[in-house]
Structure 1
Amino acid sequence: MSYQALYRVWRPQRFDEIVGQQVITQTLKNALITGQTSHAYLFTGPRGTGKTSAAKIFAKAINCHHLKDGEPCNECVTCKAITQGRLNDVIEIDAASNNGVEEIRDIRDKAKYAPTEADYKVYIIDEVHMLSTGAFNALLKTLEEPPANVVFILATTEPQKIPLTIISRTQRFDFRRISTKDSYDRMVYILQQKQISFDDKALMIIARAAEGGMRDALSILDQTLSFGDNEITLKNALQVTGSVNHDLLNAYVTDISNQQVSQALETLEKVLAEGKDANRFIEDLINFCRNLLLYQQDPSLVVDQDLGDVDEQFKQFAAQLSAEQIYQMIDHLNETQQQMRFTTHPDVYMEVLTIKLAQPVQMKPLAADEKVAQPDAQAAQSNAEIDRLQSQVKKLSAQVQQLEQNHTENAKPQSVNRQTPTTKRRSREVKPNLAKIYPVLANATKQNLVQLKEIWPDLMSMLSVTQRALMHVAQPVAASEEGAVIAFNYAFLYEKAADDSELRELLSADIDKLVGHDLKIAYVDAEQWPQIRQSYIDQHKEDLQNSDSAAAHSSESVSSQTQAPADPLVTKAEALFGADTVEVKDD
């Protein structure tokens, strides 16, 4: 295969070629110059920011005999062998596919042997956070006291998953996201070296779409070259990245800021008709709003971070829209972005979003004559509201005084009389469906209940925000292979959930995804659950005693030979609901 991707051809071979990580590269070069290198390093940061490239360059530099200013010569036999991946003393390991204890033990055993060709044996472990707990433990002692002439370089995108005992035994370097300007400058250099013409705005689009990853930027650039037949144009860059044309973006923001709903929907239709990705469009809008906020605070921030891409219309938006309006737009954008994660119809969400953005509260500035008339109208409305609230306060005060008098005369009877009807009324409104609950209790086991409780947090995360709020006060209290009983702490939420058939079907479908089979869901009020449970036990007392007579003498109670025999009814209750929730009281 003769052609190689740009990110492979232009992979850094010197510290100075690593983009946007000057502090890290200078620190490593100084350590090499002074001979104060560590035995273990941890490179962390987002993808495509130079972690693995820096590790390979460090492996060359520490073994190069012609080191100059901390940089490898890339001309000696050792440097060329490392560049080509032929040196046996530089071992690169992918922890994602070699994450077991045996692989790390093999590294630990081989690290004892001296290097064969180079001065140092270097182990580069990429995606080290994928190692298992046992593998980390096997690596721990070797990192603390490694053999002579051995260097470990660990690279990861998720340092929070690495045990602190590992991190404390390494020198940690945090690679930051590469700025848009640095990505742009690097692409300009590469295209000039390849003598390819390009459009500056096209490279800006690619640099923004890369989101801080140099490898991503070069991959998108490579794709744009292929799409445009070795020509970089703005149209090709927009087509490849899925970004929205600057004119369409300005037109959309103009329509929603002027509350022109129909025109905003037409502009949205044009955007989607061009095949633009809805999520990318939202990202562009959020970035646009963020730039507006920064420009209002300090125009130089946008000039520095977005390569000076500020036109007159952008300045007009920054002058017209207030910070509160921009905050409101960002809130709507974030909310829609979260909702679109699990939908197959993003265009519907985009249309709803457009209507929300074009019809916000107090979005349009008031005209001069409206500003004059507004205070009088507001004053009249405020006076009417004050009068109404004062009358309500008087009525409530009279009711409070009456209640205090009644309480003083006969406190306890009144308290009972006030509470009893409420309890009775709620018991009539909240009726448990025993036809669904009893079949679950007939086959319920503690193992099924424990399994359901373990997946309960994952199950809640799969629901929408509204459904999660409803189920937040609910928890499973009994489960079998075919069904489950969910108890609600509040009766009114139980009533609401009982009427929501869509929620019950969604819970069954999500449980099917998590455990491999669906469950028939039954709801119950938490206050009624103890009575329902006791009622079931009383009604099926004989069946429980007959079916569990052997269970009382099973292998799980070998020590019971020296103790009193267990009650079969208690044994069945513990099997259904768990021993920690069953309390035995003698009559």
Structure 2
Amino acid sequence: MAYQALYRVWRPQRFADIVGQETITQTLRNALEAHQTSHAYLFTGPRGTGKTSAAKIFAKAVNCPNLKDGEPCNECPTCKAITAGTLNDVIEIDAASNNGVDEIRDIRDKAKYAPTSAPFKVYIIDEVHMLSTGAFNALLKTLEEPPSHVVFILATTEPHKVPLTIISRTQRFDFQRISAQAIYTRMSYILEQKGITFEEAALKTIAKAAEGGMRDALSVLDQVLSFSDNHVTLENALQVTGSAAQQLLADYMQAVQQHNTPQALELLQQVLAAGKDAGRFIEDLIEYSRDLLLYQQAPTMVEKIELGSVDDQFKQLSQAFAATDLYRVIDVLNDSQQQLRFTNHPDIYLEVASVKLCQTPAAAPTAAAPETTAEMGQLQQEIKTLQQQLATLQSSAPTAVAAAPVQAQPRRATKQHTNVAAIYPVLDHATKDSLQQLKSVWSELLQMLTVQHRALMHASKPVAASHDGVVVSFDSDFLLDRANSNQAMVDALENGLDRLVGYTPKIIFVPQDEWPQVRKSYIEQHKRANKPAEQPTESAVAPVISQAEALFGSENIEVKND
């Protein structure tokens, strides 16, 4: 038989086998025992946390004739057929490749028919957030009033993309990231069952690198086993995960603490020469710095995170670093991590970051030197003299002083928030119909965002639109700056518009108080561009007025004759 990956061989077959989701599995078992199961479930959470496995176990349990304590027997023909994927009454659908209206309509039509060999027909729709708007609408009625013999289980890693109308018709279970300790325990059990030896430090490295996903951990373990001939070593685990050894991280941070730039650069060269991933090395340093910071306040928490691998050097570094220094280290590393996304030479940024980390931060100002003190005394005396002269003038000529006009402060020039070069091309092709279309779907678009992104966009509204772009105004400069720097939110907005209106306009933000001036400047510029050399006639100006009315509406346009 062909070799099967560990995560397939050791896929949970009972609720008790699912690691790190005890609350969810206990709730499902209780519902099965009491025969109070729902017609639709929504399983959400990060990848590799047991969503699909739980869905298949639930499909077995709800159809198993020998159910005991809410667990399927895994011995009856129904359980075996579901495990093998051969039971026609349990249908698995990948919404990433079957996301159209026709596929969902086919499900809706077939769901009416009774199951052939099991009590319930179970539909498991994975990555359900990939369904189109039309497909969600086609599924909605079936979810609201399904046949009594049908159970729907929807699974997704991005629940914010699932319409609220769908979520409200399901029982939602949020799967959490699995702790490193739980992943370590599960891998130890699997290797002991297979009779494979391992180093504890190697499994701890894999468990931390998996970032809460059991499937990722078993995939990495598979690679390490192939790489190390059925013996799991720390060296091979570091090689496969791209992580740096704890000792190397400790030595690097010690060089930073001692401001030893040559030592830090030498250690960095060792990391690069060993073929370690630059991004992974920065992540390891950030995590190490975080652990140092947390250890100063909550040692027990860090020992739990690091699975008990806290040595004396780590404790000494935690005492040697000031909290403000660790804040600075994390900020520098975060900046470097962002820069690595846009370069093909990560070694340069790592070297610069190493030099910056080893530099002594600017010291706080100390007591003023004698020369400075003398200068300050002289300036204070001059200020006192000027104040006396001003008081004398005011007392001798109060009327003249009072009548003197106060010079108004010059108005600040146009703010840096407005990207006129990007707005004008949108206005060249903007229409009132496009704007009305976007206004009609704007509230629905915001509902598709995460709670944080929705809070950021609540003070926005579209003010001009074409097929290629949309100008969105903000009544808060602070929120506008946050929106401009949040590329993930902009991507979510563009994806949402693609689903709602069928095209993806480029989104440009503008302050609400600057928009009237931008609009006026555009109209005047367009008017000058169309103005003939001689005195303009009414027929020459008419096209400009018509286009302005098409852009902004006749109620927002006022025509003045010079």
Q: Contact (CA 8 Å) 1:99, 1:135: kept in 2 or not? A: yes
| Structure 2, unaligned runs of 5 or more | 415-419, 439-461, 472-503, 507-513
The whole-number CA distance in structure 2 between the counterparts of 1:214 and 1:127 is 18
The whole-number CA distance in structure 1 between the counterparts of 2:349 and 2:378 is 40
| Structure 1, unaligned runs of 5 or more | 364-373, 428-435, 455-474, 486-513, 517-523, 553-565
Distance 1:573 1:70, change over 3 A: closer
- TM-score normalised to the size of structure 2? 0.76
Pick one of 536, 542, 545 that aligns with 1:567: 542
Distance 1:446 1:409, change over 3 A: farther
SS at match of 2:296: helix
Kindly provide the amino acid, as one letter, of the partner of residue 280 in structure 1. R
Pick one of 430, 439, 443 that aligns with 1:446: 430
**Greater CA deviation, 81-90 or 343-352?**
343-352
**Greater CA deviation, 381-390 or 178-187?**
381-390
2:260 alignment counterpart: 260
1:187 lines up with 2:184 in the alignment: no
Distance 1:476 1:196, change over 3 A: same
1:165 alignment counterpart: 165
The whole-number CA distance in structure 1 between the counterparts of 2:258 and 2:533 is 73
Q: Contact (CA 8 Å) 2:63, 2:119: kept in 1 or not? A: yes
Map 1:426-505; keep pairs closer than 5 Å: 444-446=428-430
Deviations 1:199-245 (A, max 9, x none): 11111111111000000000001111112222211111111100012
SS at match of 1:98: coil
The whole-number CA distance in structure 1 between the counterparts of 2:393 and 2:18 is 77
2:20 alignment counterpart: 20
SS at match of 2:232: coil
SS at match of 1:103: helix
The whole-number CA distance in structure 2 between the counterparts of 1:50 and 1:547 is 73
Kindly provide the amino acid, as one letter, of the partner of residue 215 in structure 2. R
2:11 alignment counterpart: 11
SS at match of 1:19: coil
The whole-number CA distance in structure 2 between the counterparts of 1:426 and 1:120 is 69
The whole-number CA distance in structure 2 between the counterparts of 1:275 and 1:526 is 55
2:531 alignment counterpart: 541
Once the two structures are TM-superposed, the CA of residue 167 in structure 1 deviates from its matched residue by 1.8
Map 1:495-534; keep pairs closer than 5 Å: 530=520, 534=524
Deviations 1:150-172 (A, max 9, x none): 11111111112222222222211
The whole-number CA distance in structure 2 between the counterparts of 1:325 and 1:302 is 19
Once the two structures are TM-superposed, the CA of residue 525 in structure 1 deviates from its matched residue by 13
1:60 lines up with 2:45 in the alignment: no
**Greater CA deviation, 209-218 or 228-237?**
228-237
Once the two structures are TM-superposed, the CA of residue 412 in structure 1 deviates from its matched residue by 8.2
Q: Contact (CA 8 Å) 2:124, 2:152: kept in 1 or not? A: yes
SS at match of 1:49: coil
Q: Contact (CA 8 Å) 1:544, 1:569: kept in 2 or not? A: no
The whole-number CA distance in structure 1 between the counterparts of 2:524 and 2:255 is 64
Once the two structures are TM-superposed, the CA of residue 407 in structure 1 deviates from its matched residue by 10
The whole-number CA distance in structure 2 between the counterparts of 1:162 and 1:356 is 44
Map 1:257-336; keep pairs closer than 5 Å: 257-336=257-336
1:228 alignment counterpart: 228
2:105 alignment counterpart: 105
**Greater CA deviation, 299-308 or 527-536?**
527-536
Distance 1:102 1:546, change over 3 A: farther
Once the two structures are TM-superposed, the CA of residue 540 in structure 1 deviates from its matched residue by 3.7
> What is the aligned length?
490
The whole-number CA distance in structure 2 between the counterparts of 1:407 and 1:7 is 90
Kindly provide the amino acid, as one letter, of the partner of residue 541 in structure 1. K
Deviations 1:497-550 (A, max 9, x none): xxxxxxxxxxxxxxxxx989xxxxxxx99979857853663574348999997x
The whole-number CA distance in structure 2 between the counterparts of 1:476 and 1:392 is 55
Once the two structures are TM-superposed, the CA of residue 577 in structure 1 deviates from its matched residue by 7.8
The whole-number CA distance in structure 2 between the counterparts of 1:391 and 1:116 is 100
SS at match of 1:92: strand
**Greater CA deviation, 397-406 or 183-192?**
397-406
1:212 alignment counterpart: 212
Q: Contact (CA 8 Å) 1:44, 1:175: kept in 2 or not? A: yes
Once the two structures are TM-superposed, the CA of residue 298 in structure 1 deviates from its matched residue by 2.5
Greater share of helix residues, 1 or 2? 1
Q: Contact (CA 8 Å) 2:431, 2:465: kept in 1 or not? A: no
Q: Contact (CA 8 Å) 1:541, 1:569: kept in 2 or not? A: no
1:94 alignment counterpart: 94
Kindly provide the amino acid, as one letter, of the partner of residue 17 in structure 1. D
1:340 lines up with 2:340 in the alignment: yes
1:128 alignment counterpart: 128
Q: Contact (CA 8 Å) 2:198, 2:233: kept in 1 or not? A: yes
**Greater CA deviation, 538-547 or 33-42?**
538-547
Map 1:297-446; keep pairs closer than 5 Å: 297-361=297-361, 377=367, 387=377, 390=380, 394=384, 409=400, 414-415=405-406, 444-446=428-430
Same amino acid, percent of matched pairs: 60
1:583 lines up with 2:523 in the alignment: no
Deviations 1:406-459 (A, max 9, x none): 99647787456x67xx69x999xxxxxxxx99xx89x944359989xx9xxxxx
The whole-number CA distance in structure 2 between the counterparts of 1:399 and 1:78 is 102
The whole-number CA distance in structure 2 between the counterparts of 1:571 and 1:403 is 61
SS at match of 1:342: coil
The whole-number CA distance in structure 2 between the counterparts of 1:87 and 1:283 is 45
Distance 1:47 1:261, change over 3 A: same
Once the two structures are TM-superposed, the CA of residue 339 in structure 1 deviates from its matched residue by 2.4
